[in-house]
Structures are given as C-alpha cells and as structure tokens.
Amino acid sequence: MMNALVIEDEQLAAERLISLIDQSGEDIQVLEQFDTVRDTVDYLTQHQQNIDILFCDIQLADGLSFSIFEKIKVNTPVVFTTAFDEYSLKAFKVNSVDYLLKPIKQQDLNEALTKYQSIYRDKLEIDLSQLSQFFNQPVSYKERFLVKSGNKYYNKAVEEVTYFSLDNKIVYLHDRETSKKYMTEFTLEELIKNHLDPKQFFRINRQFIVSIDAIAMMKPYPNQRLILQLKHGQLDELVLSREKVSSFKEWFS
C-alpha cells in the first residue's frame, strides 16, 4: 500500500485525478487533498514520513506550488500536474519524477507511477528544494520579434501580436493594429516552448498560436470543438481542436 497526497485547487480536476489513480491498478490510497501551499506545508511538516508520493498542481489557490519546497525540505517523489507546457520543465523528465499535462490521460499517469516504482524500489532520496531553485530562476520570454515583409524588416513588440499562423511551412506574425502578417524565422514549436509566455499565448491547433488579449469570445463548434472569435486580425474566427478544449478553458479562465 502506498500513501498519496493530492495537491490541486480545482475540485473537478482533483476528483478526476483521484479516479485515475484508483483505476491505475496500483495499490494507492489518497490520504488527503489540499488546495493551498499553506495547508500542504502544515500537513507535510507533521506527516511527510507517512506519504510515499505527491500529485501536485503548479498553480494553487495561494501561489505556485514550488513555494512548498522553499518552506520545507521535501524528500517525497512528486508528479506535477498542470495545463501549462513550459519548456524549462523538460529538465524534469530526466529526474525520477514526472510532469503531466492536463487533461491527464490514464496511460500517462500509469507511466508516471511506473517511474515512481523504480524510485521507490531503489529508495532514492530526492531533494526537491534544489529543483524549486531551478524552476524559480526567472524565465526569459521574447519581448520583441524581428519580422519581414517583402524585402523590409520590422521590429514588433509581443504586445502587438494577435496570433501566429503556419502557412506553407512559414510561420507568420499577425499584427494587431494593422492586421498585416509578417514572416518569422521560428517554428510554432519553438515559439510556444521557448519564446512565448504560456500565460499569454496558447497553441489552439497545428496551425495557430493565439494571444489571450486577442480573444473576444468563444462558442461551441461541431465535433465537440470550440470556435474563437477574435478582436483583431485577418481572420475573424479560429477553430480550437477538440483535444485542447479542456486545457484551453482552464488557461482562458
């Protein structure tokens, strides 16, 4: 029997996660669920020795969960869960813990638990305070982009961007004020993983990354998708892929 702690500030997400844990086939008992840094720290201070694994969202009701590891030393393996795909978290994959994107799939959770089992059997001690120091290093996102139209180059601030689009293997920046598009030297993957603030931009499908400030509203679309109505740009509406609907709603809220 393994004892787990779920740290999640959204009740529906917590219930779904606990259900996936129950269906994993592993002998795991969720002892407690908390939604704040404060309550988690208070509990772990007294009971960490009874916990085998933590399932921890990154954004909690009173701050980022990394604050937990600043306040107390945590030796318990952690599986982080979040809707935000931050490129720096790739480093997490080489450690004996995991990082799951919402909506979490059963297979991903099972693989994380398999990874945990290897840690548990080898009785490795993980000092997550060091990881928290790594993640709390300032993340530098691009503030401006050098773009091209015809044979001329322009410097566009990130605040001027409505969305990025992929057309014939070229990624374009779409200007908010003029509705013009400009060629960039990046791929959509490079932009979303390395250069754009995930709080500000979301990749809605294979062809578009949209700014949260450019979205006027959203409405249902066939096949359980959503259509986004924009405030600016050459396109009035963009279609959100079905598999991204849940994570988009969480991001947008």
DSSP assignment of 35-80 equals: -SHHHHHHHHHHHGGG-SEEEEESEETTEETHHHHHHS---S-EEE
Distances from the Cα of 203 to the Cα of 7, 84, 233, angstroms:
26, 11, 16
- When pLDDT is averaged across residues 27-51 and rounded to a whole number, the result is 93
Phi and psi at residue 146, to the nearest 5°: -85, 120
| Mean pLDDT to the nearest integer, 11-19 | 94
> What pTM was computed for the model?
0.48
Quick one: which of 244, 130, 231, 154 has its CA closest to 192? 244
pLDDT of residue 87: 37
pLDDT exceeds cutoff 60 at 128: no
Angle at 139 between CA 135 and CA 141, to 5 degrees: 155
Q: Which of 137, 131, 36, 39 is nearest to 76 (CA)?
A: 131
pLDDT of residue 178: 86
Domains of the chain as residue ranges with CATH:
2-135 (3.40.50.2300), 144-252 (2.40.50.1020)
**pLDDT surpasses 70 at 204:** yes
Closest of 160, 215, 169 to residue 188, by C-alpha: 169
Q: Evaluate the omega torsion of the peptide bond into residue 198 and state whether it is cis, within 30 degrees of 0.
A: no
Instruction: Report the pLDDT averaged over residues 127-142.
Output: 63
**91 band by pLDDT with thresholds 50, 70 and 90:** very low
Q: Which of 135-144, 191-200, 206-215 has the lowest mean pLDDT?
A: 135-144
Q: Is pLDDT above 90 for 93?
A: no
Quickly count: other Cβ atoms within 10 Å of residue 180's Cβ.
15
- Model confidence at 120, pLDDT cuts 50, 70, 90, reads low
Q: For residue range 226-246, list pLDDT tens digits in order.
A: 889 888 766 778 888 888 888
- What's the residue count for the chain? 253
Average pLDDT over all residues of the chain:
85
Determine the Cα–Cα distance for residues 117 and 114; give it in Å rounded to an integer: 5
- The confidence band for 133, taking pLDDT boundaries of 50, 70 and 90, is low
Which tens digit of pLDDT belongs to each residue from 162-187?
999 999 999 999 998 888 999 999 99
Task: Give the Cα separation of 135 and 4 in Å (integer).
Answer: 23
| Section 140-144 average pLDDT | 89
